[in-house]
Amino acid sequence: MDLGLRDKIVLVTGSSRGAGQVTAATFAAEGARVVINYRGNPAGAAETASMVEAAGGQALVVQGDVTSRDSVESLVAAVAEKWGPIQVLVNNAVSFEAGAPLEEITDEGLAKMLDIVVRGAVVTAAACVPGMKAAGWGRIVNISSRSAIMGYEKTTHYAAAKSAIVGLTRTWAKELGPAGILVNAIAPTVIMTPKMLETMPEKIQQGMAKRNPLRRLATQDDIARVILYLGSDWNSYVNGEIITVGGGAMS
């Protein structure tokens, strides 16, 4: 099955670890040229590059801080000079802040979360869109969360940021659709990343899995495959949607 991604230039922000890393390799398996972005984890970015190349794609590692417009514009310019304009953007960068009760949320923690997730998505999309418009084709996939839809205890700053992603997605879909750019978001449930496997007690993992209709928690591959479709040429009419990836769980 050809998803029309061969030689397409794909930027996955925050792709030096976790689901971003797996997403990069998933696009590479379709022959894409993948831009691996990291802020402070060069070893993880190098690991992602190895995964991309092993999957059959081409890798370009570019350091960049998504909260800085100058940094992102330099990143996009470096990619354009090497390969050309970015055609698929996956806004994946996130801040890993521990959950806390409302009254314990600090200004610094809230600002950091909003800066990386919301400002990062806006700044990066703004830098990539001109190239997409010039080509008359583009795909943007934003990563939201079920926290933005369902609401969970002790996730104030995370839910705020991921709720903003929902609004951005629906706004950009209407604004950019006429230019041939489709914008969607996914809202995953808990993803069993290596970090999650290390920090979440096994008993809690098992309890959450039992409550899911599929009797398991989401893997990174489960998430990456949905992103792949939304970012591909096969997606010709899905626009402005928030795709829940939760195995059928309603809570």
- Domains of the chain, earliest start first: 9-244 (3.40.50.720)
Which is nearest to 72 in space by CA: 122, 112, 22, 28? Answer: 122
Written as one letter, the residue type at 213 is: P
Question: What helix, strand, coil percent values describe the chain, rounded to 5?
Answer: 50, 15, 35
pLDDT of residue 212: 83
pLDDT value of residue 250: 67
What confidence score (pLDDT) does residue 50 get? 98
Active-site option among 38, 152, 158, 229:
158
pLDDT at 199: 75
38 assigned to active site: no
Measured CA angle at 173 (ends 2, 32), to 5 deg: 30
The strand pair at 9-12 and 33-38 is best described as parallel
In contact, 138 and 87? CB cutoff 8 Å: yes
Give residue-wise pLDDT tens across range 71-85: 999 999 999 999 999
Structure tokens at 215: 């009797």
**Residues in the chain where the model's pLDDT stays below 50:** none
